[in-house]
Amino acid sequence: MLTYLRKRIVSSALPLLVVVVGVFALARLTGNPASLYLPLNATQQMRDDFATRNGLDQPLLVQMWDYFTGVLVLDFGTSLRTGEPAAEMALRAFPATLQLAATTMVLAILLAVLVGSWAALKPNGIADRIASFVSMAAASIPDFWLAIVGIWIFAITLGWVPTSGVEGAAAWILPIGTLLMRPFGTLVQVVRGAMVSSLSEPYIKLARSKGASQGRVVTHHALRNAAAPALTVAGDLTVGLVNGAVVVETIFGWPGIGKLMIDSILQRDFAVLQACVLLTAIAIFALNIIIDLLYALLDPRVRPASAASKARSAPAAPPTAPPAAAAPSTPVPAPATAGTQA
C-alpha cells in the first residue's frame, strides 16, 4: 500500500506543475495591474515604479522562476490589494469552502442512499419512477440558475433566509441547497443501479431464506457491496464541489476560496490568484489519493498486491522431467569367423 501511495504522489506532481504554469501564464493575460491600482492620470514614471516595486518589470521567464523558487520555500508573494502574504489569505479562506463542500456532500450521500435504496426495492415501480425523475431533474439544473431562483423566492419574496453571508444557520440553506442538487441526482442513479444489482445476487436470496429481515438485507448485505461504486462517484463529485463552489460562493457572498479567486482575477492580484489555484489543486490531488485508498480498502480486488502475496499467488513451476534412463545394452552378436568346415 505504501508503494501504491508513493506512486500516486509522484504521478500527481506533473499535473500539479502544469496547473501552476498554466495559471501563471493565464493570469498575465488579464492585463497590467498598474491600470487598476494607479490613478488614470498616472505618469510613466509612476507606472515604472509600480512595476519595479512588484517585480513586473522582469521578463516572464524571470518572474516564473522567482515564483517557483518562492513556492519551494512556501513564499507565494504578497497581495497587491492588501499587502498581506498571499498564502495567509488563501489559507484563511479555504476552510469556508471545505465546510461548505463537506456538509453538502454528507447530506447528498445520506439522501441519495435513502432514495436510491428505496427505489431499488421494486425496480420499475412507482417509487423507482419518481426517484428517477427527481434525480434526473436535480442533476440537470444549472447551479447558477438555481441559486438565482432560490434568492428570488426564498430570500427576496418570502424573506425566510438571507441573500448572503455566513451568520446563522439560515445563511447555509441556500448555498447548500444549490450545491446539493447535482451530486444528489447523480448519486441516486448510482446507488439505485448498484443496489438493484446487489439485491439480485444469490447471497441475498440465501440471507432471505434464512429469515433475515428486509432492513437487514438492505443495510448489512446489499448496501455494503454497493458502497464501492458509489464511493468512487462520490469522490469525483466532491472534487467537482470544490471547483464548482466558485460560482455559488460568488453569488451568495460566501467567504471561501472560490470568491477570493474571482476577486483576485477581477483585481489582477496575481500572487493571491496563484496561491488559491495551487492550494485548490493540492487539495484535489490529495482528495483523489484518499478516495483511491478508501476504494482499495472497500474492494480487496483492486488492492495493490505486495511482493510476498505475489510470490504466494504465483503458480508453481512445473516439475522437471527426470533424466532419461539409459537404454539397456543388448548383446551384439560376434561377427562370424571363418572356421573349418565339417
Distance (Å, whole) CA 328 – CA 55: 96
Check residue 330 and give its pLDDT: 45
Distance (Å, whole) CA 71 – CA 98: 23
Check residue 118 and give its pLDDT: 86
Check residue 152 and give its pLDDT: 92
Check residue 310 and give its pLDDT: 46
Query: Which amino acid belongs to residue 166?
Result: V
What is the grid cell recorded at 222? 446489499
Q: Which fold has domain 2-302?
A: MetI-like fold (1.10.3720)
Q: pLDDT tens-digit profile of 235-251?
A: 778 877 877 677 888 88
Crossing angle for the helix pair 270-298 and 86-120, to the nearest 10 degrees: 40
Check residue 162 and give its pLDDT: 87
Check residue 4 and give its pLDDT: 66
The residues of the chain scoring below 50 in pLDDT are 306-317, 319-342
Query: What are the boundaries of each domain within the chain?
Result: 2-302
Residue labelled with grid coordinates 470544490: 242
Measure CA of the first residue to CA of the last residue in the chain; give whole Å.
96
Check residue 220 and give its pLDDT: 66
Check residue 219 and give its pLDDT: 67
Check residue 292 and give its pLDDT: 74
Check residue 153 and give its pLDDT: 92
Q: pLDDT tens-digit profile of 302-332?
A: 555 544 444 444 444 454 444 444 444 444 4
